[in-house]
Structure 1
Amino acid sequence: MKLKYRVLFTLLVPVFSNAVEKPNIVVLLADDASWSSFGCMPDHLTAHTPNIDKLASEGMRFDRFFCAAAMCAPTRHELYTSLHPATSGMYDNGCRPAGKYPNMVDWLEELGYNVGLTGKLHFNSPTKFEKIEGFPERANDREYTWSYDGLEAFMRRSMHEKKPFCAMVCSIHSHSPWTCGDTSQFPLDEIKVPSRLPDTPATRTVLAAQAAEVTELDRQVGETLALIDQLGLKDETIFVFLSEQGTEMPTGKYSLYNYGTRAVALFRWPGKIKAGTSTEAVAMYADVVPSLLELVGGSVPEQIDGFSFKDVLLSEGEGQRRYATPTYFGHYQRSIIDGRFKLIHRERPISNYSLPLITGPEDDRLHARAWKEWNVLAETDSDIRKQLELIKQPPEWELYEIGTDPFEVNNLAPNPEYAAVLKRMQAALQDEMTRLGDSYDAFVPKNQRPHLKHRKRRIK
């Protein structure tokens, strides 16, 4: 090889290797979209999500994936920092982090990535995300138009700079007030109602409106995937879809039930992640970034609560996480999931629970109308009365076999046949709370800064 060509070859190799070794990352994050709203998920309810279903067929689906607190800001803080609320103090949308923590921007920039975000941030923490114009930012924004011009420009600039990119595409769908989408696609008599909720006309109206907005989310996923294809980046891009937490209805958002804390997590990387696969490995939002870091050649950061599931994605091993541990910001509740069973404990009784965002008798939003209708019908309908009583005043202990009872109807805690399981899960919950430094009194009032010490990364 002549010298001038050898020099040219030497100069080009690092650029080529960088493109191969560090794939791009695109994460599309939904907003208040319960796992049961997607056709690719087992035991789904009303759903029309062809693009997301196709995505699931092209990658890996997680069936035991949970958030630590079923609210927007805590979930996003958990995702970006890989910290549990017991560490960060982010138990509630109104909380401020206990300190300044590194996040995915810091870690990916060290690996040479351009890191940007379009849409809803809701992070409550300093961040260096590059702002990408195009997607609406307000959670309750009734304006549902969006543009891909900013996202395309960000991707093209990164390609020109020969740098890998990570783009967070953060939708506002399907957050209330559910004003987007075509509800005529969802006739009320065809709506499937979660088993724990009263099946009434107002309930079906809410769920139809929410399902219609999920179709808008699905359209965004399809258009994002089309942009990646258009730029010829499909094979060198890790695409992740996350549904955030559950629907803004009782037993959903703000709760510890599956309808609130269980989430959709889909990962596609052609040629690396086997298409059409699923896993029951237990995982949480805190695990996403460490897994991505390892996939792109980085290492798992110290002083985080997340674990990498890279080996699960590459079909090379089992997950590192033994338990998922969702919390609840009020009423002193905690839960633990081992993949088969889920335990919920309330250290103190709940008094007349109602959905936190229902403001009073004059509140005319859809979910408030349903709540009012339930209370009226409960006066004469014994079945609805029993359902409402369980929502308002649930028992101290609840135990569910989530594989066969995904909507958590059959409480096994009082069943003597499950006494050993109950005892084992109770001990595991206490052990995990001790490991995390969590306590039932760790509820942080709105707008008050918690004082929780940062700890070393904990080993399972």
Structure 2
Amino acid sequence: MNDEGRRAFLKSSVAAAFAAAVPASTAMAQVPATSTAPRQKPNIILYLSDQFRWDFVGANGHNGSTHTPNIDALAARGKNFTHTVTNQPVCAPSRSVLFTSRYATETGVWRNGKGLDETLPTLATELRKAGYSANLIGKWHLAPGTEAEGGGRGAVKAEHRGGFLDLWEGANSIENTSHPYEGTIWDRDNKPIEYKDEYRVDFLTDRAEKFLRQKQDKPFLLFISQLEPHQQNDMGQPIAPKGAAQRFLNGTVPEDLRAFPGTWQAQLPDYYGCIEAIDNSVGRIRKVLEEEHLAENTIFVFLSDHGCHFMTRNQEYKRSTHNSSLRVPLIIDGPGFRGTQQIPELVGLIDVAPTLLEAAGVPVPSSWKGRSVLPLVNDPEARQGWVNEQFIQISESMTGRAIRTKDWTYCVADPSGDATQPAASSYHEYQMYDQRADPHELVNLAGRKEYRAKADELREQLKKLAVAAGEPEPEIVEAKLYP
């Protein structure tokens, strides 16, 4: 599809989305066919569950113990992007990519503890320009690490909120200012809001329900940012609601975990319990939208910032190039995204913000690097021409780069082990997985001579993606040995 055709398709998609958002009889009564009155803009809810593996969504069909009826219902109504990856598998960098549609080394947040570049347009700033309010409830994690009491963990100054300047009820790093049944977030004036004897997921859902039941004078962007099923930092594990973990003591162990030592043996029951709590929360939010007559004109996005490999791949919970770190749920329902459809094309978190601006009829900044996924919705021609590759940056566990295609993962790393720099000038081949033959990534093919030609091809693709992300073209040294 050429650029002119793509623009025409997007225009027709957006028009169809808003036509579907209002019942026909109502639309005819309010806006005659010859009217030039502006159409109603959709509300947008981004519901992010931290460290939620893609295969723990029941609708993705890979985990018999998962209990996610509400998220599954969302997938049944809308579009399930089944091969979505994060472009940086750690909390703050991935969020910076999500909101700016730029790579983490471009946002200033190439590792945790860095502050988001305030000059960059974000999803919130662009929607506010178009008349939206921009509202946050929960975890932010994009303020400078030196800000505020507690080393940047709590209250956040307005200039560091990335454009979320209307309702603000959050903490920069909520896992450091709260526990599962007590803690503190801060309002837009940085006054504390405390909770006690209520599960954290439910408390944040209460705050979201309160917002949604209020009269809204503008279309709104609401970012609901839950911590669960991320581990509670000072306890070193996820914490499910009281009594929930016992229901999952014999839960299914994903096949990518079974072969490796790690923390999954002890932590999966709580992880499952947290997943169930998140699903219940999604159900509550959807119920409120129906009751407040907001559902028909609200785009609802369920996603995560990264997955979790339970210390099976390195000494972290994520920060690796494996599917357990990279693959995340992305389900979108609402105007422009209605009708059951599983979309298997490879997309990244970098693509979410431009998608939502296109769906809302708001111009996409020319500086953004992501692609709108709207052409993949109900358009076989666009799907055939989709470029299935994503550029991955790895920090904190190592300095690494990877390319993910539908069939391959190819990763290179700085052999010095120095993870204190945003990028390296020279990398060594480190990991290579065949996603068709080895979807659980149990056999590392890096250095095997029978895969040399494919490795060379992926190496050149990776170099081009690094340059497109604003990095100098790196040297990549071939692996001489294989594991």
Q: Same fold (TM over 0.5)?
A: yes
- CA offsets 1:241-291 (integer angstroms, 9 cap, x no match): 002211262234121211111111001126x32422111222111111111
State the identity as a percent.
25
Matches within 5 A, 1:267-416: 267-269=332-334, 272-315=336-379, 317-318=382-383, 321-330=387-396, 331-348=398-415, 350=417, 396-416=429-449
Q: Confirm whether residue 104 of structure 1 aligns to residue 135 of structure 2.
A: no
Residue 115 of structure 1: aligned partner:
134
The answer to whether the 8 A contact 1:193-1:204 is kept is no
* Residue 134 to residue 348, structure 1, CA distance change in 2 (3 Å): closer
* Residue 135 to residue 123, structure 1, CA distance change in 2 (3 Å): closer
* Residue 425 to residue 196, structure 1, CA distance change in 2 (3 Å): farther
Q: Confirm whether residue 59 of structure 1 aligns to residue 78 of structure 2.
A: yes
Q: Which runs of 5 or more residues in structure 1 are unaligned?
A: 1-8, 354-394, 442-460
* Residue 147 to residue 341, structure 1, CA distance change in 2 (3 Å): closer
Please give the secondary structure, in 2, of the residue aligned with 1:169. strand
Among residues 58, 67, 70, which one is paired with 1:39 in the alignment?
58
Residue 146 of structure 1: aligned partner:
203
Q: Confirm whether residue 173 of structure 1 aligns to residue 214 of structure 2.
A: no
For residue 222 of structure 1, report the CA deviation from its aligned partner. 0.9
Residue 226 of structure 1: aligned partner:
287
- Cα distance in 1, alignment partners of residues 111 and 473 from structure 2: 14
Q: Confirm whether residue 265 of structure 1 aligns to residue 330 of structure 2.
A: yes
What amino acid is aligned across from residue 229 of structure 2 in structure 1?
S
Please give the secondary structure, in 2, of the residue aligned with 1:241. strand
- CA offsets 1:176-213 (integer angstroms, 9 cap, x no match): 1322230111123x431443565669532211211111
Matches within 5 A, 1:164-203: 164-177=219-232, 178-181=238-241, 182-188=244-250, 190-196=251-257, 198=259, 203=264
* Residue 415 to residue 18, structure 1, CA distance change in 2 (3 Å): farther
Residue 162 of structure 2: aligned partner:
127
- Cα distance in 2, alignment partners of residues 275 and 298 from structure 1: 23
* Residue 147 to residue 283, structure 1, CA distance change in 2 (3 Å): closer
The answer to whether the 8 A contact 2:134-2:222 is kept is yes
The answer to whether the 8 A contact 1:37-1:47 is kept is yes
For residue 111 of structure 1, report the CA deviation from its aligned partner. 1.6
The answer to whether the 8 A contact 1:186-1:211 is kept is yes
For residue 43 of structure 1, report the CA deviation from its aligned partner. 3.3
Deviates more, 1:65-74 or 1:405-414: 405-414
The answer to whether the 8 A contact 1:67-1:245 is kept is yes
The answer to whether the 8 A contact 1:119-1:171 is kept is yes
What amino acid is aligned across from residue 208 of structure 2 in structure 1?
L
- Cα distance in 2, alignment partners of residues 59 and 139 from structure 1: 31
The answer to whether the 8 A contact 1:290-1:307 is kept is yes
The answer to whether the 8 A contact 2:63-2:254 is kept is no
* Residue 235 to residue 399, structure 1, CA distance change in 2 (3 Å): same
Please give the secondary structure, in 1, of the residue aligned with 2:278. helix
Residue 318 of structure 2: aligned partner:
253
* Residue 158 to residue 337, structure 1, CA distance change in 2 (3 Å): farther
- Cα distance in 2, alignment partners of residues 147 and 306 from structure 1: 30
Q: Which runs of 5 or more residues in structure 2 are unaligned?
A: 1-26, 144-159, 182-199, 233-237, 420-427, 475-483
The answer to whether the 8 A contact 2:51-2:228 is kept is yes
- Cα distance in 1, alignment partners of residues 275 and 334 from structure 2: 24
* Residue 158 to residue 300, structure 1, CA distance change in 2 (3 Å): farther
* Residue 283 to residue 415, structure 1, CA distance change in 2 (3 Å): same
* Residue 199 to residue 414, structure 1, CA distance change in 2 (3 Å): closer
- Cα distance in 2, alignment partners of residues 257 and 184 from structure 1: 29
What amino acid is aligned across from residue 328 of structure 1 in structure 2?
I
Instruction: From the two aligned structures, give the one with the greater strand fraction.
Output: 2
The answer to whether the 8 A contact 2:464-2:473 is kept is no
Residue 361 of structure 1: aligned partner:
none
- Cα distance in 2, alignment partners of residues 111 and 123 from structure 1: 23
Please give the secondary structure, in 2, of the residue aligned with 1:221. helix
Matches within 5 A, 1:433-452: 433-438=466-471
Using structure 1 for the length normalisation, give the TM-score.
0.75
Using structure 2 for the length normalisation, give the TM-score.
0.72
